[in-house]
Amino acid sequence: MSVQATPGTPGETTPKGAWTITFLLFLFMLVNFADKIVVGLAGVPIMTDLKLEPEQFGLLGSSFFFLFSIAAIVVGFIVNKVPTRWVLLVLALIWALAQFPMVGTVSFTTLLICRIILGAGEGPAFSVAAHAIYKWFPDEKRTLPTAILSQGSAFGVILAVPALNWIIVNYSWHYAFGALGVVGLIWVAAWLALGKEGPLESTHPSLASEVKIPYLQLLTSRTFIGCCAATFGAYWALSLGLTWFTPFIVKGLGFSQKEAGFVSILPWVFGATIVILAGWISQVMMARGSTTRIARGVLGSVPLVAGGLILAMMPYANSAGLQIAFLVVGSGLCGAIYVVCPPMLGEFTPVSQRGAVIAIYGAIYTLAGMIAPSVMGSVIQRAGSTLDGYLTGFTINAVVMVASGLLGLLLLWPNTERARLTRAAPQADALKSAVSPT
């Protein structure tokens, strides 16, 4: 008996309605990242109104991730048994309700608690959405939908930043949170009406005979470790972008809040281009016979190294424009890894275990989000000047990105992983048969 890591076979037809679900989940991730970005976008008004020091604001940015990883793992195991349609609905409802307490007068403690709750609701988001979307696409057609799904994050920022910044500038940062709560409830209503469970895997005959692989074996495979390491570096950059990019533009470089709103879009526009391009290139390379080691592993890791090297040039730039350009390009390049890692894990993980494995992967790499904002806040508070503190923090980010990219190049071999696990499966079956009662 062989491992059925993915039940799809080459040339399998994509079910009708797959792209509708992809679009709805794209919107799901759009709302997800709009929720994430609002604290960073309103960072200066929040710090002013609540009289926060940089370390306190760094703690606020990190607090979002306190329960993020734990929730991702718990829900990852839940979606192995419960339809993703209902799990996605509950998650989106939590996001919406967690925004409304900020509409009125709010203390730092209340804001902190609401961000922790929001993080618990958003922790499983991408892994559950990816698991859901893989029920609609066979393996060789998953990279592009994964890229579209992940770009809900970029478009969430691109579309939300001008709208939310307008509310912040003309009304109050409190109302920006309320607007996100309303948008979240609208998505919940749309998903109730149109959301469906994917039919591709639930009806596939191979699932009945699918061999399960011990989680220890899956989680200690070099490709799993490589995905966690590589994406950790990318998420370090992303979490700094969510929390500290706009304050850097305002307090570090001297832009106004209104100007910063437009500048804050740039990394996400560039990042969206990189991710969609990476997804398309990966799919074309695979169609032309490239191994997933090249079309996914190398393609995702090299931009991380390049981005880190570009980011490291920020302290040597002699103008604000050049510093922004290095930050935009350097941090934007790392987005390619988000497109390739979930499909790589799906290559060798049995379908009945895939939700948990992708969730655990997400829980590990998003630990960067708990560390990076606090590190930046601490560095800024202890620096000789505000700008020096920011530049030192981004240099640390550059080192993390280069190291994670190199680990990705070393460890990401999904095609070899699949072959090794396939060879091991008959031995596990034989052992199981030997100890079973007759």
Cβ neighbours around 205 below 10 Å, total: 8
pLDDT in tens, the chain (438 residues): 333 444 444 456 777 778 889 999 999 988 888 888 788 888 888 888 888 888 888 888 888 888 888 888 888 888 878 888 899 999 999 999 999 998 888 888 998 999 999 989 988 888 888 888 888 888 777 777 877 887 777 777 778 888 888 998 888 889 999 999 999 999 999 999 998 887 776 544 444 456 778 888 899 999 999 999 999 999 999 889 888 888 899 888 988 888 887 887 888 888 888 888 888 898 889 889 899 999 999 999 999 999 999 999 999 998 999 999 999 999 989 888 988 998 899 888 887 787 788 888 988 998 898 899 889 999 998 998 989 999 999 999 999 999 999 999 999 999 888 777 766 655 555 545 444 554
Cβ neighbours around 220 below 10 Å, total: 10
Sequence-separated (6 or more) residues with CB below 8 Å from residue 42 = 164, 168, 173, 176
Alpha carbon distance 36, 40 (integer Å) = 8
Q: What is the pLDDT of residue 424?
A: 62
**CB crowding 236-262: b at 16 or more within 10 Å, else e:** bbbbbbbbbbbbbbbbbbebebeebbe
Return the sign of the alpha-carbon dihedral for residues 43, 257, 92, 70.
negative
Q: What is the pLDDT of residue 210?
A: 63
Q: What is the pLDDT of residue 341?
A: 92
- Taking the model in full, what pTM does it have? 0.75
CA distances for 414 relative to 145, 225, 344, 422, angstroms: 19, 11, 6, 12
Q: What is the pLDDT of residue 16?
A: 79
Terminal CA-CA length for the chain: 19
Which tokens go with 330? 């350097």
For the chain, which domains are there? Answer: 25-200+213-424 (1.20.1250.20)
Helices (H), 64-139: 68-78, 84-99, 108-122, 125-133
CA distances for 338 relative to 143, 194, 253, 343, angstroms: 10, 26, 30, 10
Q: What is the pLDDT of residue 8?
A: 44
